[in-house]
Amino acid sequence: MPAPENGGRPSPHRPSTQAPPTRRNSPYLPTPTERLLVALYPSLLLLGAAFAALSPETRAAAPAAAGTTASFSQDPGLAPSYFARKDNAVNVLFVKWGWAWISVAAAAWAGTHPGAAEGWRVLVRWAGVTGWWVGVTRWFFGPGFIDRGFRLSGGRCEVVELRVAEGVATGAEMVSAAACKAVGGRWSGGHDISGHVFMLVLGSGFLMQEVGWAVWRWREGRRGARSTEERTVVMADGSVRGAGVEARAAAGGLPGGGPGSDGDLLGLGGKFVLAVVALSLWMILMTAIYFHTWSEKLTGLIVALTALYSVYILPRWVPALRRIFQLRFSPSLANKPRAPEPHPRTAAPIDPFADPPAALLVSAVPPAHNLVLNKFAVVPGHFILATAAFLPQDHLLDAADLAAAYACIEAYRRGEDEGGGGDRDLFVFFNSGPHSGASQPHRHLQLLPVEGMRDGLAGEGEGAWEVLAEKLLAAGDGLGGGDVAARLPFRTFAGRIGRDMGPREMREVYLRLYREACRAAGRGGDANGVGVEVEVDGEARISYNLAMTRHTMVLCPRVAEGSTVSGPGGATAGKLSLNGTVLAGTALVKTQAEWDALRGDPAQLRGVLEKIGIPTNAG
């Protein structure tokens, strides 16, 4: 089944040209582009070392002292270059205040560019690199890592040692370079990690990560192009998936460019970042030529790259560092009709799935289903798989229902593979019962393209969200997803399915999960003492959501459709109602008031999730 286009309608034909295949990269390593940027730093250090060795002025200028820093004379008449002096303007005004410049540049980027990640995500990563900067250069439960390393490698404060011997100073004055300098001492004898190299590499690397990917993806999105290079992440089940874009889709263009044109890709904030990065790279080169020994500059580089790896690469292969749920604003759902009231009506209720009009009918799915467009789509390509003849939504699914749903999953996968895509799947969900979020009594399952659910997450990225059902399968199989299941506040039951299964086998998995859920809900037997083990058709005993992917079937028993959320001052903002998309790790928000309340207080989402199902610690 080809991906729908043109606002949700199926495209009449597939273009003859295909996008170039996306290169898959190891989640444990930087991408090729990231590796090129990383290679820039040692290249600058090597260039600086070569210049220092070959320049007659630099070789002729004797070091001011035979210590570890190898700094040249600060006398303007003797220094080999203006940048060999510590009082040069760039050093005084930029490097000495380097982290402030880097922080302001990041804020300017996040606050002005439409392709930037959400501000709070930039803030989290800024906090991560800032923590490294503070710990290495300023304070780490006492002296910073640089000062501790210097002391542990045999360094000392020469003047202070003399004063201690004379009974003038105390040992406390010897623990940091700042304390040593304050009493007129000189740091000597140990390995002095280059703080300038560390800070400049860390700061410029942070800015390039924030800006580079976002501009790249934002530019591709405006051109309608597809990336040929993608970051990847390790999922809870051990699989490696595409991490996707960290730029949000922006309508129109930046100043100076209209829709569909490149316009001003960087914007004012991006240009400010570019200036800060350029100055950082220049001062790395100057430090490489005139300051510190080669080993001290190398260790500064290694520590900075380690910090960047921990902030940007490590989360790609540690699923616990990425979140489970996404919020998605779907105002169209506010207009969606509810199921008919049970009391008598003067007119027969309208069944939207009986004899669907040609404008909505996508295809018949033999022998007993129709695939139709959803008028209240959550994302483009949101389809409904409904029975051709009326069957109740609150009755158990038949083998034919499951077979038709899985056939759509496989057809969609095959269609994407033929079109040059890959790694694309359908998420199928079914709502049954009054607490499940079901809106129509005519039996229907809903189909969502997974890549569509990832789109527009505004920096949260595909690496930040994956289909929850897949993680729960890993937990059920003992493959490492147990932490995800344990963190959920409601119980779920997962089983493995696949293309090698027939309809009856697939229904056996479904019935097993349903029976486990009934027992967990205390509905293992009915009023007549008939056990759930013998139930194979008829009305379901519980409300529940069912989810299906290519590999997974998950069932979640429900006890409530949702709960209220509060806005500022405790006023009720609305009721968050959750359906089967909860098993994708998605909470659909209908109104702006609910959206603002949940974004302002994310903990409320956890409170709603705690009320919709059987508590994890029950039974």
Q: Kindly indicate the confidence band of residue 512, based on its pLDDT and cuts at 50, 70 and 90.
A: very high
Instruction: Give the predicted TM-score (pTM) of the model.
Output: 0.51
Query: In this model, does residue 24 exceed pLDDT 50?
Result: yes
Residue 112's pLDDT is what? 77
pLDDT of residue 329: 60
Mode of pairing for the β-strands spanning 562-566 and 552-558:
unpaired
pLDDT digits (tens, 9 = 90+) for 122-134: 888 899 999 998 9
pLDDT tops 50 at residue 507: yes
Long-range Cβ contacts of 410-419 (<8 Å, 24+ apart): 410/499, 410/550, 411/1, 412/1, 412/2, 412/3, 412/447, 412/449, 413/550, 415/1, 415/2, 415/3, 416/2, 416/3, 419/2, 419/3, 419/14, 419/18
Instruction: Count the residues in the chain.
Output: 619
- Greatest mean pLDDT among 330-334, 443-447, 522-526 lies in 443-447
pLDDT in tens, 264-295: 567 788 889 999 999 999 999 999 988 878 88
Q: How far is CA 26 from CA 239, 315, 548, in A?
A: 11, 13, 28
- Higher-pLDDT residue of 394 and 77 is 394
Amino acid at 74: Q
Residue 342 has pLDDT above 80, yes or no: no
Burial of 175: CB neighbours in 10 Å, binned 0-12, 13-18, 19+: middle
Question: Is residue 433's pLDDT more than 90?
Answer: yes
Better-scored residue on pLDDT, 137 or 254: 137
347-365 pLDDT per residue, tens: 556 788 888 888 889 999 9
- Choice among 366-370, 462-466, 486-490 with the minimum mean pLDDT: 462-466
Residue 591 is predicted with a pLDDT of 85
The pLDDT of residue 211: 85
**Does 6 have pLDDT greater than 80?**
no
- Residue 494 pLDDT: 94
- Enumerate the H helices of 81-118 as residue ranges: 89-90, 98-112
Any idea which of 363-372, 409-418, 511-520 has the lowest mean pLDDT? 409-418
Does residue 341 surpass a pLDDT of 60? Answer: no
List Cβ neighbours of 489 (8 Å cut-off, separation of 6 or more).
606, 609, 610, 613, 615, 616
Which SS3 state, helix, strand or coil, does residue 614 take?
A: coil
Q: Which has the closest alpha carbon to 513: 530, 491, 487, 498? A: 491
Asked whether the predicted pLDDT for residue 87 surpasses 70, the reply is: yes
Q: Across-strand partners of 395? A: 539
CB-based contact 380:8 (threshold 8 Å):
yes
Picking from 320, 339, 317, the residue whose alpha carbon sits closest to that of residue 436 is: 339
Among positive and negative, which fits the CA dihedral 88, 92, 98, 103?
Answer: negative
What is the distance between the alpha carbons of residues 11 and 71, in angstroms, rounded to a whole number? 67
Provide the percentage of residues in the chain whose pLDDT is more than 90.
Answer: 33
Picking from 484, 463, 487, the residue whose alpha carbon sits closest to that of residue 472 is 484
The per-residue pLDDT for 252 is: 32
232 and 27 in contact (C-beta within 8 Å)?
yes
pLDDT of residue 184: 62
- Domain spans in the chain, listed from the N-terminal domain onward: 27-151+191-321, 156-189, 326-337+351-612
Task: Compute the mean pLDDT over every residue in the chain, rounded to the nearest whole number.
Answer: 75
pLDDT surpasses 50 at 64: no
Q: Give percent above pLDDT 70 in the chain.
A: 64
**Residue 314 — pLDDT band, cuts 50, 70, 90?**
confident
In whole angstroms, give the CA distance from residue 26 to residue 34.
12
In the predicted model, is pLDDT for residue 445 greater than 90? yes
Considering only 9-23, 223-237, 514-528, 581-595, which range has the smallest mean pLDDT? 9-23
Pick the CATH number of 326-337+351-612 from 3.60.15.10, 3.90.1150.10, 3.30.9.10, 3.30.428.70: 3.30.428.70
Helical H runs in 503-575?
A: 503-520
Asked if the model's pLDDT at residue 149 lies above 50, the reply is yes
Determine the Cα–Cα distance for residues 408 and 294; give it in Å rounded to an integer: 61
Contact 297, 194 (CB under 8 A): yes
Question: What is the per-residue pLDDT for 428?
Answer: 97
Structure tokens at 40: 């820039």
Q: Which amino acid is at 57?
A: E
Alpha-carbon gap, residue 102 to 281, rounded angstroms:
13
Under 8 Å CB-to-CB from 446, ≥6 apart: which residues?
Answer: 374, 382, 383, 384, 385, 428, 429, 430, 431, 580
pLDDT class of 19 with cuts at 50, 70, 90: very low
Distance (Å, rounded) from C-alpha 521 to C-alpha 543?
10
| Residue 493: strand pairing partners | 555
- Beta pairing, strands 552-558 & 543-548: antiparallel
Provide the pLDDT for residue 596: 84
385 contacts 365 by C-beta, under 8 angstroms: yes
Q: How confident is the model at residue 296 (pLDDT cuts 50, 70, 90)?
A: confident
Q: Exposure of 570 by Cβ count < 10 A (0-12 exposed, 13-18 middle, 19+ buried)?
A: exposed
